[in-house]
Chains A and B, each alone.
Chain A
Amino acid sequence: VTEPTDAEAVRELRATLADRTGPLTPPPDLYEDIRRRHRRGRGTLIAGTAAVAAAAAVAVPALALGGEPQQAGPPAATTAPAACSPEPGPAAPGLRSQGTVAGSLGGDPATVTAVLRVGWQRLRQATGSGTPLDPATATVRFVQRAADGTIVGLVDATGSDRRLGRQVVAVTGTRPDRLSTERLEDENGLLSMPKELVTVVRACGHPRVAVLVPPGTAATLFEVTDVEADATVNRRTRPVPVRPDGVAVLDQPTAPTARLVLRPPVRSGAAGLEVGVGLLPAVPACVRVSPPGSGCTTFQQAVAAAPGDGDQRQAVDLLRQPGSLPLTHVDLRVLWRGTTNGGTVTAAVTTLPSGAQYVWGGMTSKGVPGNAGFFGVLPAGGLDRTVLIYRSPEVLEGSQVAPNVVAILVPGTVQVRATVDGVQRTVTATDGILFKGRTFTGITVTRADGTRLRTVEVFALPSPYLLPIGS
């Protein structure tokens, strides 16, 4: 036997890898999958805030306004072809057969079994061979036939040692033998609550909202149509038919600001859950800055021109989240970028065609994953009379970051009075100021002429359909 040389071994290795990798083709929706996972990841902390506060907006929306979009890029909606790539669903050892599950097809054993097998196949792949996922935990949550006949189901499983969190996949298809799957992250990425699960799944290339809630829960869909000059938000509403077993599958609304409001049958001090389910438009590369007509600039330039010493990159990331800017707007101004505990706080304002002002921003903090955002509408010119206050503990629930932070964004130069840790402080601030301490009370802001300005806690809850920054 002749021992092969290194060159021969490499040649053989290349031939082997060419054989193996040659037939591979990436999933056709890879790009859209990446975009969607990116958006889900950003929503996680805000979803966590909602869990604590029991009534909150989960996604940062944009306003759906009349007229043609001026500067927005194409909506982030999937444009994938409406076709399913069926996946094999072989029997797998350890899977438990299930009886009737929720959903209109939940009583069809063949369909439930097909969904379970295909779902498990994907779950297993998602965590690799030798997976710690326990097949005995694989469970079909529901199987529903959508209005156009498409089958939509959800399957989840957990690790046998409980160290691996719940993993969820959506199973969709046109027939039980033509099912395909979509990875849905783990439960933390799903905008889910312990008992409610609302997620956007792509059923054969077509985005749908899958809802699984406790029986008896009522659901209403709100879509913003326009905002008037006095900050009145006009919206259309329609009830979403939820089956008695708590399942609903609906087409994803085409409006960027669309919210599904869930009201459980028994309220325990909670007003319900609000989940953003609209199409989040991409933030345009080019924005118009104040004054109107001054041309076009990038977010980076707008942030760089803003007062404050906060990290520019973090501020841009906070402001440029998908869906953060209304489709139709007139101009844009970054109000401030300040520094928190190793993080950044920022806010921007844009004028809507009616003259109303749309304010949004966010905050990061060192040692706390993710970021928290807010948005709201002010009447025309309202920003000149309004002070925006960020209070970190309300945002970063459970944060061990100390000291706590109050950031105050002010219109121009004002005098700020606040009692911080029992000590009254009075400072003159321009554009923004940050207080650090454990407790903050009695925050008042006045102009040089003594006029007192209205203060708005931007993360105050509960939220109606847009944050209550009213007149």
Chain B
Amino acid sequence: VDAGAEDEFREFVLARSPALLGTAYALTGDRGLAEDLLQVSLLKTYRHWRRVRHSGSPDAYVRRVMANQRISWWRRRRVAEADRPVPDRAAPADPGPEQRDELWRALQQLPPRTRAVVVLRYWEDLSEAETARILGCSAGTVKSQASRGLARLRAVLIDDERERTRP
């Protein structure tokens, strides 16, 4: 990476890492894991920065790396995670209402690819086509996974509503 590109990369990290860390946290549900995911993804981006910087969308590149890296980690650790019904909630402290707590848990319990679709579509506000491109799947797959993920989240909201309206 030459000096000019180096400066650009440094600026990119400074400017975009807060938002990208948020995405990483949404994908992992664990603060420490999110930091590692972000660092590993930015490291991969750095290695290809000469190409990435000219792609016009370094953000999309990092998101793609993050989503795929997260899925890759999950494949390697799925046995370990099977024993983990509730994701790590150590940090940050949750200031939101209980309903959001439940929604957060439900999001973390989605399969990684479905979770990635939900995060990219509804948090990053990407189109189905963009999400499909990042995840390397078809737009149809994105559509069905998003629908499935959203259905699961809606179910949580219904359960919560029932709980609150129970006499």
When chains A and B are docked, how far (Å) is the Cα of A351 from the Cα of B11? 34
Q: Mark A1-37, 1 if CB is under 8 A from B, else 0.
A: 1111010111011111101111111110011011101
Residues A14 and B123 in contact, CB atoms below 8 Å apart = yes
**CB nearest neighbor in A for B104:** A16
Binary contact track A73-87/B, C-beta < 8 Å → 1, others 0: 100000000000000
- Contact (Cβ within 8 A) A285 B4: yes
CB A127 to nearest CB in B, in angstroms, measures: 8
Given contacts A19-B100, A20-B104, contact A284 B3 (CB under 8 A): yes
Cα A101 to Cα B119 with chains together (Å)? 46
Residues of B contacting A4 in the complex (Cβ-Cβ under 8 angstroms): 154, 157-158, 161
The answer to whether B122 touches A16, judged by C-beta atoms less than 8 angstroms apart, is: no
Whether B17 pairs with A26 at a CB distance below 8 angstroms is: yes
Within the complex, the shortest CB–CB distance from B84 to chain A, in Å, comes to 4
Is the CB of A428 closer than 8 A to any CB of chain B? no
Contact of B43 among A6, A19, A38, A122 (CB under 8 A): A38
Q: Which residue of B lies closest to A285 (CB)?
A: B2
CA distance A299 to B154 in the complex (A): 55
B159 to chain A, nearest CB (A): 9
> How far is B3's CA from A73's CA once the two chains are assembled, in angstroms?
7
**How many A residues are at the interface, by size bracket?**
35 or more
Residues of chain B within 8 A (CB-CB) of A17 are: 22, 26, 107, 119, 123
Instruction: Tell me if B165 is interfacial: C-beta within 8 Å of chain A.
Output: yes
The count of chain B contact residues (Cβ–Cβ below 8 Å) is: 59
B13 in contact with A24 (CB, 8 Å): no
With contacts A24-B31, A285-B3, A298-B2 known, is A31 near B18, CB below 8 A? Answer: no
User: With an 8 A cutoff between CB atoms, is A131 at the interface?
Assistant: yes
List B contacts of A282 (CB < 8 A). Answer: 3, 6
Query: Which A residue's beta carbon lies closest to that of B102?
Result: A16
Note all chain B residues with C-beta closer than 8 A to A450.
none
Inter-subunit contact B154/A1 (CB<8 Å): no
Residue of B nearest to A283 (CB): B2
Task: Choose among A16, A37, A130 the residue that contacts B100 (Cβ–Cβ < 8 A).
Answer: A16
Q: A34-B42, A129-B88, A132-B80 are in contact. Are A21 and B21 (CB under 8 A)?
A: yes
Which residues 93-108 in A have Cβ within 8 Å of B in the complex? none
Most buried by A among B2, B17, B28, B95: B2
B-chain residues with CB within 8 Å of residue A38 when the two chains form the complex: 43, 46-47
Closest 4 CB pairs of A and B: A125-B32, A21-B22, A285-B2, A130-B84
Residues in chain B within 8 A of chain A (CB atoms): 2-6, 9-10, 13-14, 17-18, 21-23, 25-26, 28, 30-36, 38-39, 42-43, 46-47, 73, 77, 80-81, 83-84, 87-88, 92, 94-96, 99-100, 103-104, 107, 118-119, 122-123, 150, 153-154, 157-158, 161-162, 165
Can you identify 16 A-B contacts, CB atoms within 8 angstroms? A4-B154, A9-B157, A12-B99, A12-B157, A13-B103, A14-B123, A16-B107, A17-B123, A24-B21, A24-B92, A26-B17, A34-B43, A125-B30, A125-B31, A125-B33, A283-B2
Which residues of A come within 8 Å of B, CB atoms?
1-4, 6, 8-10, 12-17, 19-27, 30-31, 33-35, 37-38, 41, 73, 122, 124-132, 183, 282-286, 298-299
Additional A-B contacts beyond A13-B118, A21-B22, A128-B28 (16; CB < 8 A): A6-B154, A8-B157, A10-B122, A15-B96, A15-B100, A19-B94, A20-B92, A22-B22, A30-B13, A33-B39, A35-B46, A125-B35, A125-B36, A129-B33, A130-B81, A130-B84
